[in-house]
Structures are given as C-alpha cells and as structure tokens.
Structure 1
Amino acid sequence: MRAVVYTQPGDPSVLDLVEREPAEPGPGDVRVRLVRAGVNPTDWKFRAGGMGALAFPEIVPGQDGAGVVDAVGAGVDDVSPGDRVWVMLAQHTRPGGTAQEQVVVPRQNVAALPDNASYDLGASLGVPAVTAHRALTTSEDLGARLSPGSMAGATVLVAGGAGAVGNAAIQLARWAGASVISTVSSDEKAVLARAAGAQHTVNYRDGDTAAAVRELAPQGVDLVVEVAPAQNLALDLAVIRPRATIAIYANNGGDEVTLGVRETFSTNARFQWVLLYTVGADALRAAAEDVTAAVADGALAVGDERGVPLHHYPLEQTTEAHAAVESGAVGKVLLDVSED
C-alpha cells in the first residue's frame, strides 16, 4: 500500500511517499481502507517537532479519515468489514496515521458514517468536531452531552467562527438549540460563520467588540469557545454572565495570559482547557456518538454552503497539503487517498 512517512522533524519536505505492507489488526483493533484523510494544524505541528521529540522512528501523519472497514481484530463484534466509518486520533498513540491507504486503529477510534454523509464530511470530523463537542459540553449548567434542544436558551460566543473548530462549534451549538454569536476578522469570514449557522457576527477589528456582544446578549453569554486567549481573555471576561464557561482549545496569538484575581473572582467563571489527546475515553465516546447523531440529522456538514470550503490533494501531494494548512488555508484540506 502507499503511505506518506517522515523520520525526522522539519518542514513539509521531510514527507516521503513510500510503499509499506498494511498492518494487521490486533485484538480490539479495526483496519480501515481510507478514501479520504483530513489534514489539521496538529498534523504539521507534530511533524515540525512542535509537540516534542518524535515518538516513533517512522511516522505516518494524520489523525482523521473516512473509509470502509476491511478487517477487524479479535474481540471486535460490533463493526464488520464493509462498514462505512469515520476515524479519529489515528496517530495519537501509534505511528500509523491516516496519510496512507489502510490504517489500523482501536475500535473506540472509529464511528459509523451515516448513509447521508460523504467521505469528505467523514474525514472532516475528527479533530475539529470532537474538539468543538468537548468545548461545548464542559459547562456547569449546560450538560455533558449534545442533542436537539440540549442547549436551548443558551447563548454561545465562538471566537474565530471561520476556523474549522469554530465552524463545527457553531453547527453543533445550533443543532443543540443555542443562539450563537461569532467574532470574525473580516466580512469574508463573517459570511463563512453565518453559513455555519451563527445568527450574529462581530468584526473584532471594527469598533468596541465587547459592547457589540453585550448589545446582542445583555445578560451575558453562557459559554465561550476560545481560540486565542492571550488576545481575547479581557473580552471574554467582559461579556460572560456569572458561572459561564470559557473553553480554550488553542493558543493563537500568544502563549501566556494574565488574570486579575479580583475581576475574575467576581465572574464565578469556569476556565476549561481543551486538549483532545487527554480528554479521556468517556468524553471521546460521547463526542463520537453526538457528532454522528448530528451528521445523521443533517445538522453538521462541510462545503461552501456550510462555511467550510474544501481543498482536495491527492495522496502524493501530501507535502503541498501540509504546506497549505501551515500557511492558514481557510476551510478543510483533504487527501484523496483512494477511490470511493
């Protein structure tokens, strides 16, 4: 089979397309013949060495994908060859990610791909949708699961609604019945956030952002999905209601934040740090179930009409795909691994 590998950290040029024998599924494993694979910022950060030393001598990048089960290991009796699935966290604890034609992952890292969902959508879930789910389900008052109506009456502020996680957070929050405000940096990105379902957008480069959010949510927002805490924490504290949650999943714009104890004390706020790789098995299982249900309902999708432009690269152009994500491509970068 064809696989893309790297053996040392570096820029996209360290990626090589090679031939490898497919791995056999062990007990509790599932092997998937991939049709599409997603490329996320975390993939190039691992490849560049930004997450520490390489964990294996040779690594196939990629956490997300979608395809068809072609073999299962001992003890797996609820997934069968021929099943359509989406894959998450393929490269979390193993050297073999989704930039290859067949990938072996633990059973809990695959979920059924509903019949109404394309492989493009399946490969676009994983990191963005599961991160968004976690960010939306850590509130004291809003519950640990998402379903239609589970967030009814709540107002969610999504920072950077044109990004992949922001887009998924908007779609999932709207499916759960929340009202959504999104901050954006341009009119073009406002169009994308509104396509995802945000009822309101605020350009943070134009005027008083806190005042604009407060005008839309006079009592304050219930939850913030935050991508840039170093830049936005003062804004978040100014627009939340008491006991709100600020869920932080990235460090765009800076690595440090400063908290004023007294002003923060008065908010009774919960700060939830979200790193997908250590959220725990229960949170991953809940996310897989809820995200799959949203997909089946038609509430979570990709493409221009949902604010997620798709960019396709053949597997042999994984280098170019990584470079596109690293340079900030808007939308979702996908690898065409094999025929549908």
Structure 2
Amino acid sequence: MQAVWYEDFGAAHDVLQLGEMATPQAGPGEVLVALKASGVNPSDVKLRAGARVGAMMVYPRVVPHSDGAGVIEAVGAGVDPARIGERVWVWNAGWQRALGTAASHVALPAEQAVRLPDATTFAEGACFGIPAMTAWYAVMGDGPVAGQTVLVTGGAGSVGRYAVQMARAAGARVIATVSSASKAAHSTAQEWVNYRDTDVAEAVREMTGGAGVDRIVDVDFGANQAANLALIKPGGTIAAYASAADMSPTLDFYPFMFRNTRLHMLIVYQLAGAMRRAGEVQVTRWLEAGVLDHAVVPGGGLADCAHAHQLVAAGEKLGTVVLDI
C-alpha cells in the first residue's frame, strides 16, 4: 500500500516520507478499510514533532493520523462478512498504534469503524473521530442540555463549531466566543461575543439577564478560568478539552466549590464503551437528519502530507485539514 510515515520526530518536511509498505491484514475482530480520506488534527502534528513532554519513539516507524474514512475491504475472524463494502469513518487509528490513516489502507478493531451515512462525504467523515466526537463529549457527556444555556468558547474552532451546532440541535440556547465577525459567521452561532474587544463575563451576564450559563464547553481552561467562574451557574459544568495558554493553571478551588461546579477535563481518545456508542448513535442521527454542517479544508493528497501538517501547525485554517487519498 502507499503510505506516509516517519521514523523520528522533527519538522514535517524533514521526517515525513511517502512510499510503499505492506498492506496490513484484518486480524481477528478487525476490519481492513480502504481509506478515501485522512483527517489531520493538531494532536497528530504535535506527536510527529515530538512536542509532548518526555516524547520518545515507541515504534520504529509510525504512519500518522487517527481520523479517516473509507470502505471496508475485508474482515477478520469474528466480524460479520456483510460489513464488506460498508462506508465507514474510523477513530483512534493512530492512538497508541503504529499504523494510522495517512495510507491507502488501515486495519483496526471493527468497533473503530463506524457506518458513514450515504449523504456524508468521506472528507466529512474524516472530521468525526477527534473534532466531532470531542464536541459531542463536551456538550452531551454529562447528560441532556435541552432547555439549558451553553457557552462555547472558541466557537470557530474545529471542535467549537461542531459544539455550537450540537448544543443547538440538542435543544440548548448557545452563546459562542469568537475573535471576529467573520469567525462568528463561520461558527454558525446565532449569539456570540468577540472576546478580543469585549469583556466576555460582562457581555454574557447581560445576554442572560444576570443568570449566567449552565454549561461551558471550553477550549482553554487556564485562560478562561476567571470568566468561566463568573458565568457558571451553581451546579453547572465546565467541560474543558484544552488549556494551551496555561498548561498548569492554578485552580481557584473554593469559588468553584461554593458554586458546586463540576469540572470535567476530557480527552476523546479515552472515550469508550457505552458512552462512545451513545455518541456515535447520536452523531449518526444528526448526520442523517442533515443538521450538521462541516468545515473541510482540502489538504491535497498523501504526497502533500508535510504541507498539510504545516497548515495545521500555523493555526490559521478554519476547519479540519483533510487529505484526499
């Protein structure tokens, strides 16, 4: 099969190689997916760069990327042969594994290949494993949000944009923070605050008649802690999936405690079991109902993988960079 891989950490153009590898086989309980698209996420780029503290190459060769979409070409023992030919999106292909989705094929556990509705493109399907499922987990991971007010920080981001749509589809009032009017439009949010020129806490309090919000889907916990504390209702939940500006923030414990706040620090790679199944079912229903809009950024083909990594690292794109395989 054709694949992109690296054998050491470093700059994308220095370490990413395109070539031929043996096509993997579907083992017991696995499916072999002929990939049509591969999603490039910030975590893929950071891992390739060796940016994680104490990072070391666990495998001698790594095919990057966790997200992708394609068609099941073969199945291993114990998997229903009727799945051959099924359109699917895949998750965690590159999580604690050597062979991800930057390739023409990937073999992985059957449960990690989820049916892709016919009306959804492969490029869109390559956005689900990390961005869409992180958004679902952050919005819905602690129960229904119907009738609640949800604040989504960074509403124009890959996760935030899905979170805005999902919270609204689940019956919540949604307010997003963005950095410009153009990003507000991209976010699809009907109510928004420009955090660059407006006091977010003051603006959202005014928008909610002083009540605050029931839930915060947060892209940067450390940077937003003060505003979130000012806005979260007693008994509310802050679901944070990153804290890039301050990776070791000092927690303002007692003010949160006296508000009976639930702090949910989440990572989609660890979403498993019944909770993940529930997310997959709900996302599929929304896809079939046509209520989710996707922001795909074309990244070229496998030969353009290094450029796609640079595009993600630059942080200027609006959407998920996807390679067309």
Whole-angstrom distance in 2 between the partners of 1:77 and 1:84? 15
Structure 2 CA distance, aligned partners of 1:37 and 1:309?
A: 11
Question: What residue in structure 1 maps to residue 16 of structure 2?
Answer: 15
Q: How does 1:176-255 map to 2 (within 5 A)?
A: 176-193=170-187, 195=188, 198-217=189-208, 218-255=210-247
2: CA distance, partners of 1:2 / 1:323: 21
What CA deviation, in whole Å up to 9, does each residue of 1:260-310 have, x standing for no partner?
3332222110000111222333332222222122111111231xxxxx252
Pairing 1:97-116 to 2, within 5 Å after superposition: 97-116=100-119
Q: Summarize deviations over 1:93-125 as a string: whole Å, max 9, x none.
A: 321100000111111111100111111211111
Q: Which moved more, 1:213-222 or 1:258-267?
A: 258-267
The offset of 1:78, in angstroms, is: 7.3
Identity, in percent, stands at 43
Per-residue deviation, residues 167-191 of structure 1 (Å, max 9, x unmatched): 1111111111111100011222111
Residue 156 (structure 2) pairs with residue 162 (structure 1): yes
C-alpha change, 1:69 and 1:237, in structure 2 (3 Å) is same
For 2:278 and 2:29, the matched residues in 1 are separated by 19
Q: Which moved more, 1:224-233 or 1:51-60?
A: 51-60
Give the TM-score taking structure 1 as reference length.
Answer: 0.91
Structure 1 unpaired stretches of 5+: 144-149, 303-307
1:147 equivalent in structure 2: none
Contact 2:9/2:50 (<8 A) preserved: yes
> What's the offset of the Cα at 1:54?
2.1
Deviation of the 1:79 alpha carbon:
5.4
> Paired residue for 2:56?
53
Q: Distance in 1 between matches of 2:160 and 2:36?
A: 25
The runs of 5 or more residues in structure 2 that have no matched partner are none
In structure 2, distance between residues paired with 1:92 and 1:289: 22
Which of these residues, 314, 330, 334, is aligned with residue 301 of structure 2? Answer: 314
Q: Secondary structure of 1:57's match? A: coil
Aligned residues: 320
Superposed CA RMSD in Å reads 1.4
2: distance between equivalents of 1:133 and 1:191? Answer: 21
Report if aligned partners of 2:153, 2:219 keep a CA contact under 8 Å in 1.
Answer: yes
Single out whichever of 258-267 and 118-127 deviates more from structure 2: 258-267
Residue 92 of structure 1, CA deviation = 1.1
Cα deviation, residue 3, structure 1: 0.2
Contact 1:184-1:201 within 8 A present in 2 as well: yes
CA distance in 1: counterparts of 2:81 and 2:196, whole angstroms = 50
Change in 2 beyond 3 A, CA 1:177/1:67? same
Moved more, 281-290 or 7-16: 281-290
Q: Note the C-alpha offset of 1:6.
A: 0.3
Conserved in 1, the CA contact under 8 Å of 2:286 and 2:292?
yes
Alpha carbons 1:243, 1:269 under 8 Å: kept: yes
Give the 3 Å change call, closer, same or farther, for CA 184–79 of structure 1 in structure 2: farther
- What is residue 333 of structure 1 aligned with on the other side? 321
- Amino acid aligned to 1:21: A
Task: From the superposition, tell whether residues 322 and 332 of structure 1 become closer, same or farther in structure 2 (CA, over 3 Å).
Answer: same
1:305 aligned partner: none
Q: Secondary structure at the match of 1:4?
A: strand
Partners of 2:65 and 2:296 in 1: how far apart? 20
Is the counterpart of residue 43 in structure 1 residue 44 in structure 2?
yes
Q: How far does residue 138 in structure 1 lie from its aligned partner after superposition?
A: 3.2
